[in-house]
Structure 1
Amino acid sequence: MSVLLKDAMRVLKETSRTFYIPITFLQKELKHSVAAAYLVFRAIDEIEDHEELDNDVKYTILMQVSDLFKQPFDHEAYGRILGSTKEQMPEVTLRLEEWLRVCPKDALPIVMNAAYEMTTGMAKWAKANWEIRTREDLDDYTYYVAGLVGVMLSDLWEHYGEEKADRELAIGYGRGLQAVNILRNEQEDLAERSVSFVPDDWTRAELFDYAEENLAKADEYMKSLTKKSILLFCRLPLALAHKTLKAMKEGREKMTRAEVEQTVEEVQLH
Structure 2
Amino acid sequence: MNEKELQKEAMRVLKETSRTFFIPITFLQKELKMAVVTAYLMMRAIDEIEDNEHVEVTNDVKFKLLNEVSGLIEASTFDEKKYLELLAPYEQFLPEVTMRLGDWIRLIPTGAEHLIKRSTSEMAYGMAKWSKQNWQVSTREDLDEYTYYVAGLVGVMLSDLWEWNAGVKTDKDLAVGFGRGLQAVNILRNQHEDLTERGVSFVPDGWTRDQLFEYAEENLAKANLYIQDINKKSILLFCKLPLALAHKTLKALKEGKEKMSRAEVEQTVQEIQGE
TM-score in terms of structure 2 length: 0.97
- Give the equivalent residue in structure 2 for 1:246: 251
Among residues 211, 219, 224, which one is paired with 2:224 in the alignment?
A: 219
- Give the equivalent residue in structure 2 for 1:47: 49
Which runs of at least 4 in structure 1 moved beyond 6 Å after TM superposition? none
Q: Distance in 2 between matches of 1:181 and 1:55?
A: 22
Counterparts of residues 185-204 of structure 1 (less than 5 Å): 185-204=190-209
Q: Distance in 2 between matches of 1:133 and 1:31?
A: 38
Across the aligned residues of Structure 1 and Structure 2, the Cα RMSD in angstroms comes to: 0.7
- Give the equivalent residue in structure 1 for 2:161: 156
Q: Deviations over 1:149-169 (max 9, x none)?
A: 000000000111331000000
Q: Distance in 1 between matches of 2:216 and 2:267?
A: 23
- Asked if 1:206 is matched to 2:211, the reply is yes
- Give the equivalent residue in structure 2 for 1:56: 60
- Deviation of 1:191 (Å): 1.6
- Deviation of 1:103 (Å): 1.1
Among residues 179, 184, 201, which one is paired with 1:179 in the alignment?
A: 184
- Deviation of 1:69 (Å): 1.2
- Give the equivalent residue in structure 2 for 1:73: 78
- Deviation of 1:240 (Å): 0.3
Counterparts of residues 1-270 of structure 1 (less than 5 Å): 1-52=3-54, 53-71=57-75, 72-270=77-275
Kept in 2: contact 1:63–1:119 (CA 8 A): yes
Counterpart of 1:26 in structure 2: which amino acid? L
Q: Deviations over 1:218-254 (max 9, x none)?
A: 0000111110000000000000000000000000000
TM-score in terms of structure 1 length: 0.99
Q: Distance in 2 between matches of 1:150 and 1:224?
A: 14
SS at match of 2:111: helix
Q: Distance in 2 between matches of 1:176 and 1:133?
A: 19
- Deviation of 1:105 (Å): 2.0
Q: Distance in 2 between matches of 1:147 and 1:70?
A: 19
- Deviation of 1:44 (Å): 0.3
- Number of residue-to-residue matches in the alignment: 270
In structure 2, runs of 5+ residues without a counterpart are none
Counterpart of 1:79 in structure 2: which amino acid? L
Kept in 2: contact 1:58–1:126 (CA 8 A): yes
